[in-house]
Structure 1
């Protein structure tokens, strides 16, 4: 995983360097050689009773950078960092989790140079979530997911665009790294609003 992160950092650095070398563009839309970044940051903290017992907190950071290798096709690399804790009582101590992952995606834009475009995305994601129960041995849950998602992109300025995606189809496989653990698989088909996501992109 350390090699994956170092490789990802190198790709990020090269992409930003390439973006700085390009001439500034005033037109909306994407073209070959464009770079855009997107991602999400989240944090939550909860208390489940008035005495402050049973506390939980979670955070995640998921940056992604995409590069247009042709007029219509972009390739992207994303990272996934997260963590959390649960404390049932003040004397029970905290059960902690931490997540490290990376992903690749490929997109095809039907009208990339336009203000509005439809695209399709195929993504591959790997994540390793570590569970560290208080007073017990830690263990990991390693997972791999493949997902197909059509979406819409709309430029609100020459550099910023908003997008929405629908996680139409997905397949996942995961397994705990404990003795005797069995592989778990899942298949998803979009059926409600929980499969819809929104995002903001910045084009260099």
Structure 2
């Protein structure tokens, strides 16, 4: 899946680069921008000593709209959908599946620094709120446990943006640095679990690609 996505990006780059591109070294004040961010992540892991296996799949899509309040400086807002599936098989060959579905609401400020014609490095300061449900199901059992999850994140994401034309750019975020708070409420007993952390996250699941249109 990853190879197909990367290949599609390069093919699109070649086609769009054939269009007229006078070179972009600044995004002017008053410019609008619409971006769709997309992230796909799949990871399998096994533990030979205890004969456990796990498989993780993540998907995220977030459309965003932002406005440049100054040259190379924009404010924006996005609404996204996030899906996570984790399958665990223990040494008794029992399967546990966890599905998480959330919607996210994101506001941010982004500053571009052009390091070459058509190529900019950017820093995005953001505040994100996610809300949704976690469902745990078990093999050979009809019981399903559900929980409500609410996540708050404030931090910084670095990235790069490359202009294929004067109006179209591709971008990639890599990692994040910030504070995250998760509140999980078990629907069966109303118990709440609160988790807070401040960290630098360089997990490959934090790699996000985007396609942007400027006008």
**TM-score of the pair, normalised by structure 2:** 0.67
CA spacing shift, 1:59–1:154, aligned 2, 3 Å: closer
Q: Deviation per CA, 1:70-106: give whole Å up to 9, x if none.
A: 542111111111223223357x542222121110111
CA spacing shift, 1:139–1:123, aligned 2, 3 Å: same
Q: Is the contact made by 2:39 and 2:61 (CA closer than 8 Å) also made in structure 1?
A: yes
Q: Is the contact made by 1:28 and 1:157 (CA closer than 8 Å) also made in structure 2?
A: no
1:66 shift after superposition: 1.0
Q: Is the contact made by 1:150 and 1:168 (CA closer than 8 Å) also made in structure 2?
A: yes
CA distance in 2, matches of 1:136, 1:128: 19
1:35 shift after superposition: 1.0
CA distance in 2, matches of 1:29, 1:39: 25
Aligned to 1:85: 87
Question: Gapped runs of 5+ residues in structure 2?
Answer: 1-19
Within a 5 Å distance, the mapping from 1:101-180 to structure 2 comes to 101-111=102-112, 115-134=120-139, 135-158=141-164, 159-179=169-189
Determine if the alignment matches structure 1 residue 202 to structure 2 residue 214: no
Question: Gapped runs of 5+ residues in structure 1?
Answer: 1-23
1:193 shift after superposition: 5.2
CA distance in 1, matches of 2:191, 2:155: 28
CA distance in 1, matches of 2:52, 2:173: 37
**TM-score of the pair, normalised by structure 1:** 0.70
Aligned to 1:60: 58
Within a 5 Å distance, the mapping from 1:16-35 to structure 2 comes to 27=24, 32-35=31-34
1:183 shift after superposition: 1.3
CA distance in 1, matches of 2:148, 2:63: 24
Q: Is the contact made by 1:56 and 1:87 (CA closer than 8 Å) also made in structure 2?
A: yes
Between structures 1 and 2, the one with greater strand share: 2
Aligned to 1:95: 96
Q: Deviation per CA, 1:20-44: give whole Å up to 9, x if none.
A: xxxx986466564311122211223
Of 116-125 and 105-114, the range deviating more from structure 2: 105-114
- Name segments (4+ residues, structure 1) moved above 4 Å: 28-31, 111-114, 192-198
CA distance in 2, matches of 1:201, 1:160: 6
Q: Is the contact made by 1:28 and 1:155 (CA closer than 8 Å) also made in structure 2?
A: no
Aligned to 2:14: none
CA distance in 2, matches of 1:60, 1:198: 11
